Amino acid sequence: YHNVVFVGYDKYKNPRYANLRGTYGNFKGDACGSDKNYSFRLDSNNSDKILHLFESSIDLLSYITLLQMNNKNWRISNFLSLAGVYKPSPNTNNKIPKVLEKYLNEHKNIKGIILHLDNDKTGREASDCLQKVLKNKYYIYDNPAPFGKDYNDYLLLEIKKTKEKNKEKER
C-alpha cells in the first residue's frame, strides 16, 4: 500500500503500537489493535534529562534529520511521539496524554520537556495546555517549527533551500 510503519515497543521489545503513514497522498492511521501508550519513541543511551515531544513520528524523525543536517548529535536526547493531539476541553481539568504520563513515570530522570507541536490551532492549544499542566514539575520549552505547519514541512523547506543553493554553486 506504499505506507511507512512506525512501531512502538514495550520494555520487553514487543511491538505494541503501529502507526501507518502513506508515502503518496495524505493517508495516516494506526494499525488495528495498536496501543497508543507505546507510541513511537527513541531513547537516549545516556539517560539524558531532556524529552523532545512531537505530535507524530514523522515530525520526530524530521527534527532528528534537521539536527543531523546541522552536524548535531541527536543520540544524546529522548524523543517521543504523542501519536496525535486533541483540542483541550475548556470544561474539564486538562490531563496530560496517557503516553506522556506513562513515559514520565518510567523515566524519572526527565527534568525538562521541549514541545515541538504543530503550528496549527490544535497544536498551539495542546502546547499551551501541556505547559500549564507540567510547569510545576518540569522545565517546559515551546519550540514549534520556525516555518511551516510542523517539523516535516520545515524539513522539506530546508531541503529545497539546500538544493537551490547547490544549483547556484554549480552555475
Q: Whole-model pTM?
A: 0.89
d(CA 81, CA 126) in angstroms, rounded, equals: 14
Sign of CA dihedral 118, 122, 128, 133: negative
Residue 149: count of CB within 10 angstroms of its CB: 14
Q: Model confidence over 92-108: pLDDT tens digits?
A: 566 789 999 999 999 99
Q: What is the pLDDT of residue 167?
A: 79
Mean pLDDT across 15-37: 88
d(CA 112, CA 107) in angstroms, rounded, equals: 12
Q: Which three cell numbers stand for residue 65?
A: 534529520
Q: How confident is the model at residue 47 (pLDDT cuts 50, 70, 90)?
A: low
For residue 53, give the nearest of 114, 94, 139, 140 by alpha carbon.
114
Average pLDDT along the chain: 90
Q: How confident is the model at residue 153 (pLDDT cuts 50, 70, 90)?
A: very high
Q: What is the pLDDT of residue 111?
A: 95
Q: What is the longest distance spanned by two Cα atoms in the chain?
A: 60
d(CA 92, CA 75) in angstroms, rounded, equals: 37
Higher-pLDDT residue of 86, 34? 34
Q: Which three cell numbers stand for residue 43?
A: 531513547
Q: What is the pLDDT of residue 84?
A: 86
The DSSP code for 77 is S
Q: What is the pLDDT of residue 154?
A: 96
Mean pLDDT across 153-171: 86
Q: Model confidence over 112-136: pLDDT tens digits?
A: 999 999 999 999 999 999 999 999 9
Is a pLDDT exceeding 90 seen at residue 55?
yes
d(CA 112, CA 135) in angstroms, rounded, equals: 10
N- to C-terminal Cα separation, the chain: 40
Q: What is the pLDDT of residue 100?
A: 95
Q: What is the pLDDT of residue 11?
A: 86
